[in-house]
Structure 1
Amino acid sequence: MEIPAFVRSGRRLARLANAMPDTVFNRQLGGKWSVAGTLQHLYLSARPVLRLMDGPRDVFQQWPIASSTSRSYEEIAASYRQALARGVKAPEAMSPRAADMVVDRATVIGRFIDVYESLGATAATWPEADLDHYQLPHPALGLVTLREMLDFVDIHTQHHLAGLTEQVS
């Protein structure tokens, strides 16, 4: 089984986070989240996808079935860039809270990577056709298929990985 791109990106981000000193891991720069805060944000963003995909499939009946094929990775990435250019920000529920951050580095990184690994394992149990069939709402992109959402998890991780790499250099 091929490891999903978002899991590979998550592992790369976890390695980067593990390699930096605590002062860098916990420091906010220029009003942006710290590395710890970014990992918490990505965890909070991926966890609802995991919960939905790991639960009963009839939960998806609350949203319409996809009427066309899933958009490509590049199309989802372009839509996300457009949303960012319009000033879209993370919803409050997916933003790190101070109360969530009173834990050690291993806990922050562990819960982040656990949700990514679990999402990868759960996604692997879904038939390919169902990934293009079922939809769920995305706060910035509207209704997306499960395949598009899984692609978005990678695109989102790559976005933050690029920002963190720039921020800590």
Structure 2
Amino acid sequence: MKKAIIHEQLILQFDAFADYIQNLSVHRFTVSPEGKWSAGQQLDHLIKSTKPVNSALALPRMLLRFWGAPKRPTMTYDEIVTEYQQVLSAGGHATKMYMPAIVEGYQREALLKQFIQQKDRLLQLLRQWHEDDLDKYLLPHPLMGKITIREVMYFTIYHTQHHLQSLKQRDQLNQSWSDQLERIFQ
């Protein structure tokens, strides 16, 4: 995937997630019937996941050499997705740094603003990178080890999409949201 396509996909996935969150009721934003993260917590998690990427992309290239140089070709988008899914299947989960706090309904607008700010910063920083340099530098990923900048961008696209799909799947259950809650409290 070329940088221009990565840029487009980041916009598409971040905006789709933000639109979905914006249209949830306060109840659906704050509660998760399955005992998993609420929509608000998933939003908080995505903010926490994007901030360190932005910080790393803003570093001088010389400092990025701290993590070494790639010793293999950059994986494709599909290979990154497959590897991440395998990590999750093997029990991988967010490390403490990326765990969301409890999120209340009144926090939605502020969190959405932070989310969009992180997206805008990510896009701004990505524009400053040359196409070839995306494959020359590594960043540490807490679950996947050292991956190239391009692979980090692939991961960020998929990770955002993954969390949106998780929320949408809850809505596709055959029971209404209130029926799911009632079942839990029985």
Please give the TM-score of this superposition, normalised by the length of structure 2: 0.85
Q: Give the one of 100, 110, 113 matched to 2:116.
A: 113
Alignment-derived partner of residue 151 in structure 1: 154
The answer to whether 1:25 aligns with 2:29 is yes
Runs of 4+ in 1 over 6 A off after TM superposition: none
Alignment-derived partner of residue 94 in structure 1: 98
Shift of 1:70: 0.9
Question: Separation in 2 of the partners of 1:10 and 1:65?
Answer: 29
Shift of 1:78: 0.4
Shift of 1:74: 0.3
Question: Separation in 2 of the partners of 1:116 and 1:4?
Answer: 12
- Write out per-residue CA displacement over residues 44-64 of structure 1, whole angstroms, 9 at most, x where no aligned residue: 011100011012222212111
The answer (yes or no) to whether the contact 1:138–1:144 under 8 Å persists in 2 is yes
Stretches of structure 2 lacking an aligned partner (at least 5 in a row): 173-186
Please give the TM-score of this superposition, normalised by the length of structure 1: 0.93
- Write out per-residue CA displacement over residues 8-30 of structure 1, whole angstroms, 9 at most, x where no aligned residue: 10100100111111111111221
Alignment-derived partner of residue 162 in structure 1: 165
Q: Give the one of 72, 75, 85 matched to 1:71.
A: 75
Larger Rg: 2
Q: Secondary structure at the match of 2:139?
A: strand
The answer (yes or no) to whether the contact 1:50–1:118 under 8 Å persists in 2 is yes
Further displaced range: 103-112 or 139-148: 103-112
Query: What one-letter code is carried by the residue in structure 2 that aligns with 1:105?
Result: R
The answer (yes or no) to whether the contact 1:50–1:115 under 8 Å persists in 2 is yes
Aligned-CA RMSD value: 1.4
The percentage of counterpart residues that share the same residue type is 30
Stretches of structure 1 lacking an aligned partner (at least 5 in a row): none
The answer (yes or no) to whether the contact 1:36–1:105 under 8 Å persists in 2 is yes
Query: What one-letter code is carried by the residue in structure 1 that aligns with 2:49?
Result: S
Shift of 1:163: 0.4
Q: Give the one of 138, 145, 157 matched to 2:141.
A: 138
The count of residues paired between Structure 1 and Structure 2 equals 167
